[in-house]
Structure 1
Amino acid sequence: MPFIPASDPAAESGSGNSGSGAGSPHISTAAADLVEARDRLLATGNRGGHRLDAPALRHALVDLFDFWLTAKGAEVGVKPGSGFSIVAVGGLGRREMLPYSDLDLILLHDNLPDAQVSEVADAIWYPLWDAHIKLDHSVRTVPQALRVAGDDMTAALGLLEARHIAGDEDLSGLLIGGVRRQWRADIRSRFGDLVAQTHARWRRSGDIAHRAEPDLKHGRGGLRDVQLLGALAIGQLTDQVPGLRPDSPGAGLSTAYTRILDIRTELHRISGRAREQLQAQDADEIGAALRIGDRFELARSVSDCARTITYSVDVGLRTAGNTLPRRGLSRLRRNPVRRPLDEGVVEHLGEVVLARGAVPAKDPGLVLRVASASARTGMPISAATLARLADTAPELREPWPPEALNDLLVLLETGHHMLAPIEALDRTGLWGRLMPEWGAVRDLPPRDAMHTWTVDRHLVETAAYASALTTEVSRPDLLVLGALIHDIGKGRGGDHSIVGAELAVQIGRRLGLPADDVEVLSQLVRHHLLLPIAATRRDPDDPRTVQSIVDATDGNPELLELLGALSEADSKATGPGVWSDWKASLIANLVRRGCAQMEGRLPAPPEPLSETQLAAARAGQIAVEIAPAIEPVRGGTDRHTFRVTMIAPDGPGVLSKMAGVLALAGLRSLSATVQGDSGSAVNSFIVVPLFGDPPAVGLLRQQLISVLSGSPADLRSKLDAKERQTAVPVASRGDGERPGVPALFAQASPKVTWTEGPDGAAIVGVRADDRVGLLSRVAAAIERAGGDIVWARAQTRGAAVIDAFCLAGPYPGEEMRSRMAHEILAAVPGLPPKPVAATDADDPDQDWNRGEAAVPIG
C-alpha cells in the first residue's frame, strides 16, 4: 500500500520482513508468539491435531491477528478515547487473511504530537518487522488519509475495505465513513480512470480462465475483479452480485469467489510463501487438499469460477457506465429510444433487451433471437434480460422449428462476434438448455499443450473461424454446426470422434435437420481429423491415401469439401502455428484430388409449376399469394414462415423487382424458386417477417405494380434507404454517438462460380453473406451485365446465401463472365478478397472473387 508518511522516519524505513528493527528496545516476544501460533495453525490447525480447511484457516488467522493487534495496541496506549486507532485494510480488512499475505495496517491519530505518534508506531511496527511478518503500513490523520484516497486510485480502493481493529472506534469511523462518502461523490469523475486501470491490470496479468499458470489475484476473472464490484456497489453504481442465479454454471459469483480464494489459500500454505500465480507443480497437491481432483480438475474449476467472475464484472462495469449521469451536451438529448432489432428484441442504452410486449414464457425461440441480435450488432445482452429469460423462457420443443435453427445459424455465422453472447448464455444457464451435451466439455482443460483454449471455448473459436469459410462450401450451415460440435465427444471416455458422431445424430435431430443432413453432420464429426492425419502422417501423393479418403467419405464431395474447411478452422482455433501454408497446401491437394474421383453435382433446376400456377401465368395477370410455408429443405411448418408466390408478365428486371418488393416490405427471403411459362414469371419465395406479420396480399400486389413500373435505379435507392434503417446507432457514453453498426457482419469473402450445364447453359453460383435485398441486387447485377435468367434457386442458411442462376444462351466468354462477376461482387457484402491460389491462377473458370474488389456492408 502507498501509505508512507513523509514525516515519520520509522514508517519510511520500509515494509516486509527485512528485520530492520533488530536490536530495538521495542522488540517484544509477543510477535514471535504470533508467528509460532500462525505456524501451528498452518501445520495442524491447532484443533485436536486436525488440518483446518481453507475457510477455517482464514478465519483463525483473522482472529489471531485481531487478537494480537488489539492486545498490542492496549499495551502501547491505543485504547478507546486515546486519539489513536488501528485500521486494517487488504485481506485482514476483508476478514480474508491468508497465511503469508502482507499485513496492511494504518495507525490513525487525532493530530497528536509527532514524538508521541512515533513512539506508538515504533512499538507496533518493530515487533512485526523483527518477527519477519510482511507489513505494509502508514501513519495518518483522517484528513491526510482522505487526501491520499482522493489522489491515488489504489489507495482509495484499499480504504473502501478498511475495518476498525483497536483503539478509538469513532476515529476509525470518521475515516471509513469519509472514504465512502468521498468515493460516492467522486465516482463520476474517477470512473474512466478506474476502468482504464482495470484494463491495464488485465493486460498485464492475462485471462485466468485460459491461462496455463494464472494469476489468481490480479488476472481477469480473479479476486481483484470481485473487489472491484464491491467498490462499484459502494459507489451505488451496480449490485455487488449482478446478473447470476445460484443454479447457473459456477453457482453464482459468491461461490466462484470463495473457490478462487480457497485455491489461493492452499497455494500459500503449500508453497510456504505469498504466491499469486498457480503453477503446475503445486496443482495436484492443491486439488487434493480441496478435494477437487487432479490438476486437470483443478484447472477446470478455476476456469469455471474465473469465467463466472469475468461475466459478472463485465456486467457490473457496463451497468455502472449506464448508471452514471450524462455529461456535456448529451444531457440535453431526449431519453434513449428503444430501437427494434428482431421480433420481441430491441436495443436500449447500447444493450440488447426484450421489447415491452415480449412474453418469454410463450416464446421459446426468443433466447436465440436475443443472442443472434447481440452477435449481429455487437451489443451486449442486458443482464436483466438474461435473468428474465433464465427464469421464464421454456425449452425449445424437439425438433426445433425452422426459425430457431435459422437464428442459431445466424449466431454461428457472425464470426468472433458470437463469443460474447454465447458466453453470456452459458454463464446464465441458457446455453446448456439449448445444448445439453455442452456440460461435459464446459471448462474442460486441454490435454495437449498445443491447445490454447478449454474444449468448450475451442469449439466456439472453431465455429468463429469456420464462419469465414462459409463461401468456400456448398453447405455453410453444416460447416458451422460441425465446427461447433466437432469435439463434443471429449470428456466422456473413448474415442471422442466416435462418441461425438453419435452425439451429432442426437443434436442434429433435435435441431430439426433432415435425415440426410444429420448423417452428413455425424460423418463430419466422425472424420474431422481425417484430412490432417492423412496430410501430415501419410504420403499425400500416394493414390492409396486419396482412395482411403474417398472411401471414408462414401464418395460424397460435399462432405469432403466440408472436412477441408473444418480442418482449417479447427487448426486455427487450436493455437498459434498449428495452421500453416504447408499444411494448407497438403489438405487442399487432398480435397482437390479426392473430389476429382467423385462425381460432380450440378445445381438442380426447380420443380415443375403446378396447374394453378400455370393457369395464372397463362392469364397474363399480376398476382400475389401468401400462405404458411412448408419448407422441404428443413421439414415441418412454422407459423412465422410464409410462402409468397408472385406472378407477372416476364421481362428484364422482373426477378430483382419482385425480390426488392419483399425486402422493402420487411420480409427476409430464406429461399426462392424462379421460373416462368407463357411469357409470365412465376416466382416463389420462402420468407420470414422481420417483425410481426407479413403485409396484406393487396398491399404487396400494389407495391409490386408500382415497382414494376419504376426504374432499377429507383429500386436500388429504396433498398439502400431500407438498409440504412437497419443500422443500429449504438449510444456512447460521451458527447456523441458511434456510427451505426450493420444488421449483419460480413465474415466471409464473397464468391462467384461458373458451371456449364449438360445442355451448355451457364449456371452462375453466388455465395456471400446476407444483406437487405441481396437477391434483388444480385439479379439486377446479372441483368445489367447482359444476363437473361431462365431459372434460379436461392437459399439463405442463417446469414449465408447460396444462389444459383441459370442463364439463357450459349456459355459466355471470359470477358462477359468477368464483367458479370464484377457487377455481382459490387452488390454483395464481403471482406477483402483472398490472394490468388497457385492452383487456381491458370483456370479462368475458378472463383471470380479472387482479385476483385469486395463491397463492405452498408
Structure 2
Amino acid sequence: MHSDPYGSAVDGPDPVATTATGSGPSVSGDPLSGSRGEVDDLARARAQLLAGGSRNHRLDAPSLRHALVDLHEFWLTTKGNELGIRPDSGFAIVAVGGLGRREMPPYSDLDLILLHDDVDPALVAEVADNLWYPLWDAHIKLDHSVRTVPQALQVAATDLTAALGMLEARHIAGDVELSHLLIGGIRRQWRTGIRSRFDELVAQAQARWQRSGQIAHRAEPDLKSGRGGLRDVQLLNALSIAQLTDGMPGLGPDSPGGGLASAHGRLLDVRTELHRVAGRARDQLRAQDADEIGAALRIGDRFDLARSLSDCARTISYSVDVGIRTANNSLPRRGLSKLRRVPVRRPLDEGVVEHGGEVVLARDARPSKDPGLVLRAAAAAAQNGMPISASTLNRLSDNAPELREPWPKGAVGDLLVLIGSGARAISTIEALDRTGLWGRLLPEWGAVRDLPPRDAVHTWTVDRHLVETAAQASALTTRVARPDLLVLGALLHDLGKGRGGDHSEVGAGLAIQIGTRLGLWPTDVTLLSEMVRHHLLLAQTATRRDLDDPATVQSVVDRLGGDPVLLELLHALAEADSLATGPGVWGDWKSSLIGELVRRCRLVMAGEALPVPDPIDPAHIEMAADGGVHVALDPGSATHTYVVTVVAPDTPGLLSHAAGVLALNSLRVLSASLGSYGGSAINSFVVAPRFGVPPQAGLLRQELIRAIGGEIDVLALIDTKEREARGNEPLVDRTGAAVPVQYAQAPPRVIWFDVGGPGGSPGQVEPGQVIVELRAEDRLGLLSRLARVFERNGADVRWARVSTLGASVVDAFCIALTNGDTRAAREELERAILAVVPAPEPKTEDGAVHT
C-alpha cells in the first residue's frame, strides 16, 4: 500500500498486493455492496458527527476525532465479524494513517490493510470486495491494500513512505496474532535497517520542507507537510521507534507553548477545524478560513491563530532538529567506523566545551552557581557554528540562576558575541527561546514571541524579524564606531510591538529598561533608546520628504540632537531592518535616498571627534623607572577578567610580543591602553581567559623575555594554535596573507585621521603623527599581528586605544610613519592591515556565499 500516513494516497495499482481493488463508484444493486441500510447508517452517523447541531452543542475538535475513530472502528469490527474476519480466521483488518494513530480529521482518508495468512485468492477477493464496497458507497475516501505479512514487509523495505505509515499500524479486527506479526515485523525491520535508510529519511524531509516552506512564516501554511507540521511529528515517532531518540527530544510541558505534545495537539485541532470549515480534506490553511477556525477553537482572530500556529510549528521544528541530530549521533556503527576514536572534548570557553559536534558543559561546570554560563555557551555555539546539545539546554534551564542586575560585563560581552555572529546566531537564539532561556534573559521578549506581522511585506514573525535584523546588522558593524550598540539596537528596535501605542515610543522605554539592566553607561542607554525611537526616521524622511529642502535635513538633525554617532547607527540600522523585512524592501532607490539624506545631515553636523589616549597611571610610571621588564596581573572589575600591565624598554616589536604572549596563553584582549613614558612602553591590557584561570604574572614575564630575545616566534605559534582551534584546517589566503578559516560578518574598515582634525587636542597628536582606526572582526592574536604589521611597514606606534566589543574590534593607533607620510605609504600600510584581519566570505555572482 502506498499510504500517506496523514491522509493522502498514491494512486495506481500495487504490484505486490495479492488482491487490490481499484477505487471508484459502486454500481447500484451490486451484490458486493452490502445492505443499503448498513451503508446509510454509516453515512448518516458520519453526517451527524460532522454537523453537530449548533456551535454550542457540536463536538470540539479532539472529541470529534475520537468519535470518528470510534465510529469507524465499530463499523469495521461489526462488518468484519459479519464477513467472518474473526480470531483464528486467517484474516485481520489493520489501520494505518489517522485511524491507526487514533487521530482522524473529518475528511481524512481511511487507510486500511486486509491481512491474510496465504488464504485462497478467490476467498480473499470476495472478503475484500464485501469490505471495501460499502465504504465507497458511504462516500468515504479509502486507501486500501490486501497483503500477506511477507508482502507487506517487502513493500515497507522498498518504499519509505509506506514504511513510515505501517510503523503506526494498529489492529482493528480479526486475527490479532496476524496483526502482531506485521506490526512487530515492521518495527524490527525498521530498527535493523535504519542505518542504511537514515540519510534517505532526512533527505525526504528536507525536500518536503523545501516544497512546502515553514508553517511559522507562511501566510497560508501547509499544516501537514510544512516545516513544523504533522509529518514532522511522524518523523520524530519513526526515529523513536528506531530507538535513536526518546520521542520528546529537548522539550517538555514546562517549555514555552507547553512542549511538543501540546504543539502537536493544537496543530491537529486546527487541521480538524480546517476540514470541518472546508467541507473536504484540506491541508493548506487559507486566509479566508482563518477567522472562522480561530473562533471555533476559541483562539481569537486570524492573527491570534497565526501566532498559535507559529508557536506550534517552531516547537516541532526545534524538536525535529534535536531529534535528527541525536539520531545521527546514535546510529549504530559498522565496519571501520567502529574503530573511530571517541570524540575529544575541546575547550571553547570557561565551563563550555565541544563534544561530538555539539556545545556541552565542561565536567566541572556548575550551572547553579554560574549565572553567565548560559550566555557563554550560546556565544560559543554561535561563534563556532555548532548547536547546543539538548541535554545541556535542559540542564541550564533547570539549574541556571538569574543574572544579577546590572549584568556582569562578561555576560554583556557574550550577548554581543552571540547577536553579532550573523546567521549562525539565529538557530542558537531559537534553541534558547524554545527552551525558555531566552525569555529569562529578556523578559520583554514574550510580547513579540510568534507575533505575526500586520504588514504583508514582512516575511517573518516579529521576534524572528528582530533576530534577522541583528544578523543583517552584524555585516555592517565595521561601518559604525559603536558596533555593540548597532547589534543591540537591531535586536530591540521593534520590541515595542504588540503592546499598543506607537511601537517606537514604547520600544524606546523598553530599551532604557534593558540597557539599564545590562549595565550600560547612562549615555549609551540614552543612545540605545534614541536608536529605537528613531529607527524609522531616515527611511520615512528620505522616501516621503523633499531632500532639496534645507528644512527637511535640519528637521532630522534637530530630532537627532546633532549627534553624528546616532546618525551613523541609524543609517546602518535602516539598511539592516529593510534587508530583514523581506525581498525587494531594500534596493538601489531606497539606498541612494537614505545615503543622500545622511550625507547632507553629516555636513550640517560637521564631523567627528578624534580618538584620544588614556592617561598613564602614576604607579606604572614608577615601574618604568628601573628600565627593566615588568608584568603585573591584577583582578579586573568584572568576573573572569584581569588587568595585565606590561612595562618594558620601548624596543621594536615589544607590542607584538606582549600581545602574542597573551594570545598564546588563551587570554582574549577586551581592551588595551598603550602608551610610553621616557624610554619605556607602558601597556595595560584588560583580558578574559577563554577557559580556566590565567597563568601567573611571572610565567607571562618569562615568555615575554623569551619572545623579545628571539627564542620563540609568537606569531608562528599563534598560527598553529589557530589551526588547531579550527580542527587543523589550513589557513586560506584571500588577500595575499593568511586569514582565518572562520570569516567575519562585516568587511574590515580602516579610517585615517590627520593632525589638526576636529576634536584633536595639543599634546595628544604631535606634528608628523596620524591616527589610524581599524574596525574589524576579532581574531586570535589580532593585536600582535597588527603590531607586527606596523613594525614591518615603518609605523612607530606612539599610543593606542584598543576595544573589543562582542566579536568586533575598534582599535585606534597614533603612529608616526618613519619612511614619510605619503599617500603610497598609507595605501601600503592599509593593505597590510587588511591582510591580517578576518575578511567576509566571498560571494558568487548570484549572491550566495562561497564555501
What's the TM-score bracket when you normalise by the shorter of the two chains? over 0.9
Write the distance in 2 (CA, Å) between the matches of 1:690 and 1:9: 67
Instruction: State the partner residue of 1:290.
Output: 297
What's 1:24 paired with?
Answer: 30
CA distance in 1, matches of 2:696, 2:15: 80
Deviation, structure 1 residue 39: 1.0
Equivalent residues in 2 for 1:817-828 (5 A)?
817-828=826-837
Question: Distance between the aligned counterparts of 1:607 and 1:154, measured in 2?
Answer: 68
Please say if residues 749 and 832 of structure 1, whose CA atoms lie closer than 8 Å, have aligned partners that are also in contact.
no
How far did residue 809 of structure 1 move?
5.7
- Compute the TM-score of the two structures, normalised by the length of structure 2: 0.93
Code of the aligned partner of 1:694: P
Query: Retained in 2: the 8 A contact 1:754–1:765?
Result: yes
Amino acid aligned to 1:747: Q
* One-letter amino acid matched to 2:658: M
Which amino acid is 2:698 matched to?
Answer: G
What is the aligned partner in structure 1 of residue 20 from structure 2?
Answer: 11
1:830 aligned residue: 839
Match of 1:43 in 2: 51
Q: Secondary structure at the match of 2:377?
A: helix
- Which residue of the partner structure matches residue 541 of structure 1? 548
The CA deviation at 1:10 is 6.8
For 1:160-179, list aligned pairs within 5 A. Answer: 160-179=167-186
Residue 269 (structure 1) aligned to one of 260, 276, 279: 276
Equivalent in 115, 120, 143 of residue 127 of structure 2: 120
1:312-711, aligned counterparts within 5 Å? Answer: 312-629=319-636, 637-710=637-710
Residue 815, structure 1, aligned to residue 824, structure 2: yes
Equivalent pair of 1:5/1:139 in contact (CA under 8 Å): no
TM-score, normalisation: structure 1: 0.93
Partner of 1:757: 755
2 CA distance for matches of 1:5 and 1:770?
A: 61
SS at match of 1:358: coil
Partner residue in 1 for 2:799: 791
Partner of 1:632: none
Measured against aligned partners, the alpha-carbon deviations of 1:729-751 in whole angstroms (never above 9, x if no partner) come to 79xxxxxxxxxx97964111011
- Provide the rounded CA distance (Å) in 1 between the counterparts of 2:131 and 2:373: 62
Determine if contact 1:672/1:686 at 8 Å carries over to the other structure: yes
- AA at the equivalent of 2:325: R
Unpaired stretches in structure 1, ≥5 consecutive residues: 630-636, 731-740, 836-855
Could you tell me which amino acid in structure 2 is paired with residue 751 of structure 1? R
Q: Counterpart of 2:253?
A: 246
Letter aligned with residue 572 of structure 2: A
Cα deviation for residue 261 of structure 1 reads 0.2
The alpha-carbon deviation at position 808 of structure 1 amounts to 2.3
Q: Report the 3-state secondary structure (helix = DSSP H, G, I; strand = E; otherwise coil) of the residue aligned with 1:827.
A: coil
Give me the CA root mean square deviation: 2.0
Cα deviation per residue 1:563-608 (whole Å; 9 max; x = unaligned)?
A: 0000000000000000001111111111122122224333332233
Assess, with a 3 A threshold, how the Cα gap between structure 1 residues 353 and 728 changes in structure 2: closer, same or farther.
farther
Question: Is the Cα contact below 8 Å between 2:743 and 2:841 reproduced in 1?
Answer: no
- In structure 1, the partner of 2:725 is 726
Do 2:408 and 2:639's aligned partners in 1 also have CA atoms closer than 8 Å? no
SS of the aligned residue for 1:174 comes to: helix
Find the counterpart in structure 1 of residue 7 from structure 2: none
The percent identity for this pair of structures is: 65
8 Å Cα contact 1:6-1:12 kept in structure 2 = no
For residues 801 and 831 of structure 1, the distance between their equivalents in structure 2, rounded to whole angstroms, comes to 15
Write the distance in 2 (CA, Å) between the matches of 1:639 and 1:422: 24
Q: Is the 8 A contact 1:259 1:305 kept in 2?
A: yes
Which of 82, 85, 103 lines up with 1:78 in the alignment? 85
Query: Could you say what secondary structure the match of 1:26 adopts?
Result: helix
Q: Deviation of residue 22 (structure 1)?
A: 4.3
Counterpart secondary structure, 2:247: coil
Contact 2:744 2:841 in 1 (8 A): no
CA contact (8 A) 2:19 2:121 kept: no
Q: Pick closer, same or farther for the CA change 1:340–1:729 going to 2, 3 Å.
A: farther
Identify if the C-alpha distance between structure 1 residues 10 and 147 changes in structure 2 by more than 3 Å, giving closer, same or farther.
closer
Q: 1:7 to 1:480 in 2, by over 3 A?
A: closer
- 1:81 & 1:729 partners in 2: Cα distance? 65
* TM-aligned CA deviation for residue 716 of structure 1: 2.0
Instruction: Check whether the contact 2:750–2:775 (CA below 8 A) recurs between aligned residues.
Output: yes
1:656 maps to a residue whose letter is S
Q: Is the 8 A contact 1:462 1:573 kept in 2?
A: yes
2:310 to 296, 303, 313: 303
User: Helix, strand or coil for the counterpart of 1:98?
Assistant: coil
Cα offset, 1:82, TM superposition:
1.2
**Do 2:156 and 2:166's aligned partners in 1 also have CA atoms closer than 8 Å?**
yes
Q: Which residue number in structure 2 is paired with residue 748 of structure 1?
A: 746
Q: What is the match of residue 805 of structure 1?
A: 813
1:325 Cα deviation after fit: 2.2
Matched with 1:714 is: 713
Question: CA separation in 2, counterparts of 1:396 and 1:269?
Answer: 48
Shift of 1:187: 1.1
- Give me the whole-angstrom Cα distance separating, in 2, the residues matched to 1:384 and 1:115: 57
Q: Give the secondary-structure state (helix, strand or coil) at the position aligned to 2:222.
A: coil
Letter in 1 for 2:745: Q
SS in 2 for 1:597: helix
CA distance, structure 2, for counterparts of residue 336 and residue 87 of structure 1? 44
Partner-residue secondary structure (3-state), 2:634: strand
Aligned partner letter, 1:645: T
Question: What does the per-residue CA deviation read over 1:483-523, in whole Å, with 9 as the maximum and x for residues that have no partner?
Answer: 00000000000000000000000000111111000000000
Tell me, in whole angstroms, the C-alpha distance in 2 between the residues paired with 1:214 and 1:21.
39
Assess if the C-alpha contact under 8 Å between 2:19 and 2:147 holds in 1: no
**How big is each residue's C-alpha offset from its partner over 1:152-204, in whole Å with a ceiling of 9 and x where there is no partner?**
11111111111111111111111111111111111111111111111111111
Give the Cα separation in 2 of the matches to 1:628 and 1:600. Answer: 38
Q: Which moved more, 1:4-13 or 1:481-490?
A: 4-13
2:405 and 2:518 in contact (8 A); partners too: yes
Cα distance in 1, alignment partners of residues 614 and 423 from structure 2: 38
Q: Which residue of 1 aligns with 2:733?
A: none
Contact 2:671 2:686 in 1 (8 A): yes
What stretches of structure 2 of length at least 5 have no aligned partner? 4-12, 730-738, 757-765, 845-849
Mapping for residues 69-218 of structure 1, pairs under 5 Å:
69-218=76-225
Q: Secondary structure at the match of 2:773?
A: strand
Q: Distance in 2 between matches of 1:742 and 1:124?
A: 68
Partner SS, residue 795 of structure 2: coil
Native 8 Å contact 2:656 2:785 kept in 1: yes
Supply the distance in 2 between the matched residues of 1:832 and 1:649 (Cα, whole angstroms).
Answer: 40
Q: Say if 1:339 and 1:728, in contact at 8 Å, map to a contact too.
A: no
Check 1:809–1:103 CA distance in 2 against 1; reply closer, same or farther (3 A cut). closer
Match of residue 844 from structure 1: none
**CA deviation after TM superposition for structure 1 residue 227, in Å:** 1.2
Q: Counterpart of 1:639 in 2: which secondary structure?
A: coil
**1:729/1:56 Cα in 2 relative to 1: closer, same or farther (>3 Å)?**
farther
Measured after TM superposition, the shift of residue 715 of structure 1 is 2.6
Q: Could you tell me which of 257, 261, 267 is aligned with 1:260?
A: 267
2:105 alignment partner, SS class: coil
What is the rounded CA distance, in whole Å, between the counterparts of 1:687 and 1:154 in structure 2?
56
CA displacement, residues 614-636 of structure 1 (integer Å, 9 cap, x when unaligned) = 2222321110111122xxxxxxx
Structure 1 equivalent of residue 762 of structure 2: none
Corresponding pairs, count = 815
Q: Is the 8 A contact 1:360 1:366 kept in 2?
A: yes
Alpha-carbon distance between aligned partners in 1 of 2:493 and 2:216, rounded to the nearest angstrom: 22
